[in-house]
Amino acid sequence: MTIQERDTPGFSSDECPASLRLSLPDAFSYRETLHYLSRSPLECMHRMDGDKVYKLLELEHEPALIEISRMDGASLRIRYVDGQSRSDEAQQATANYVREWWDLRTNLAPFYRMAEADPLLGGLTREYYGLRIMGVPSLFEALCWAVIGQQVNLPFAYTLKKRLVEAFGKRILWNDQSFWLFPKPQDVAAVSVEALMKLQFTGRKAEYVIGIAQLMLHGELSKQALREANDFAAAEQRLLAIRGIGPWTANYVLMRCLRYPCAFPVGDAGLHNALKALLKLRRKPTEHEIRELFAPWRGWEAYAVFYLWRSLAPIV
């Protein structure tokens, strides 16, 4: 069993002042990370180039494009592509963002020990060893993405997200390529339902997204407040009270943004299809059957779901 380092900074400035090195935990697969990040050509929130990943962050109120690459087996290299060095605080924020995004703080050893002898999960954890739950650190982005993804196929969901970002987000150009910051609540709170419907949002989804933006803009909903909720159930209840957020959306966001390993979007269509295929069922499993199957994995439902999603055929 490995002890995870938590108190050390975990990153250091590289020889080049505009880059830093980020140490990796055990059981991290760069290959699986790239696989997930490459899953849709319509993804607009990052860009891939070979083994390098480019993402636009906001550091000290300014856009900052970073390039992530594999330095060696034990660390990542993060480079500010403008060649400018950053303050210690900005470097810390960059390292924290990538750790949060790529789930570098979780010790997977207990999950793997639990899965080892499991007939279903054992095979998945061996096949996709080092796969982590790729996150959506921004609560507003995670909520918008989840609402957009309700009841539509994923290519269309990516299309809608791209339209939202390109209509209300901030763009920078680098090497003739566009990089985007996701819109902020204040950018969406005053938008009309009709404006979003022109992007092919349904009237309902437009209302949901605008309503969530207004709640966050007015400080009635925040990632910090959800983090400080008493427990998982309290955070879930807070989300469920919001119009447009049902059980699937609440658990999806608790899984990918708040990073609760016990979050469980049990109604997820992709989960149903993955189980149908792996268990060779003629029909999709019932919710009751899924809960029974998941019972031994209590506390790690989110990881079980993410590994099951991984087993699905690629999108488009």
Active-site residue list? 268
In the complex with DNA, the residue whose CB is nearer, 18 or 278, is 278
Pattern 196-215, binding to DNA, x per CB under 7 A?
-x--x-xxxxx---------
Q: Is 270 in the site for DNA (CB under 7 A)?
A: yes
In angstroms, what is the minimal distance from the CB of 8 to DNA?
Answer: 32
Q: Is 252 in the site for DNA (CB under 7 A)?
A: yes
Query: CA-CA distance, 128 to 38, in Å (whole number)?
Result: 16
Q: Is 273 in the site for DNA (CB under 7 A)?
A: yes
Measured between alpha carbons, how far is residue 65 from residues 33, 71, 256, 311 in Å?
19, 18, 23, 32
Residues 6+ positions from 14 with CB-CB distance below 8 Å: 20, 21, 77
Q: Is 272 in the site for DNA (CB under 7 A)?
A: yes
In the complex with DNA, the residue whose CB is nearer, 57 or 257, is 257
In the complex with DNA, the residue whose CB is nearer, 86 or 205, is 205
Measured between alpha carbons, how far is residue 185 from residues 158, 191, 217, 289 in Å?
19, 10, 6, 39
Token digits of residue 250: 């609440």
In angstroms, what is the minimal distance from the CB of 269 to DNA?
Answer: 3
**Residue 72, strand partner residues:** 75
Q: Is 250 in the site for DNA (CB under 7 A)?
A: yes
In angstroms, what is the minimal distance from the CB of 156 to DNA?
Answer: 4
CA angle 256, 77, 70 (to 5 degrees): 80
Residue with tokens 């921004």: 138
Q: Are 162 and 153 in contact (CB under 8 A)?
A: no
DSSP letters spanning 136-193:
---HHHHHHHHHHTTTS-HHHHHHHHHHHHHHHSEEEEETTEEEEEPPPHHHHTT--H
Considering only 16, 190, 279, 316, the residue that binds DNA (CB under 7 A) is 316
Strand order in the sheet with 11-13: 11-13, 19-23, 75-80, 62-72, 52-59, 47-49
Query: CA-CA distance, 308 to 215, in Å (whole number)?
Result: 33
Considering only 59, 90, 109, 154, the residue that binds DNA (CB under 7 A) is 154
Kind of pairing between the strands at 177-181 and 170-174: antiparallel
In the complex with DNA, the residue whose CB is nearer, 55 or 272, is 272
In the complex with DNA, the residue whose CB is nearer, 130 or 246, is 246
State the DSSP code for 4.
P
Question: Using CB under 7 A, which of the segments 58-66, 68-76, 79-87, 245-253 binds DNA?
Answer: 245-253
Question: Using CB under 7 A, which of the segments 16-24, 174-182, 220-228, 240-248 binds DNA?
Answer: 240-248
In the complex with DNA, the residue whose CB is nearer, 24 or 157, is 157
Pattern 114-153, binding to DNA, x per CB under 7 A?
-----------------------------------xxxxx
In angstroms, what is the minimal distance from the CB of 18 to DNA?
Answer: 33
Q: Are 161 and 46 in contact (CB under 8 A)?
A: no
In angstroms, what is the minimal distance from the CB of 238 to DNA?
Answer: 13
Site of interaction with DNA (CB under 7 A): 39, 149-156, 159, 197, 200, 202-206, 242-250, 252, 256, 265, 267-270, 272-273, 284, 309, 315-316
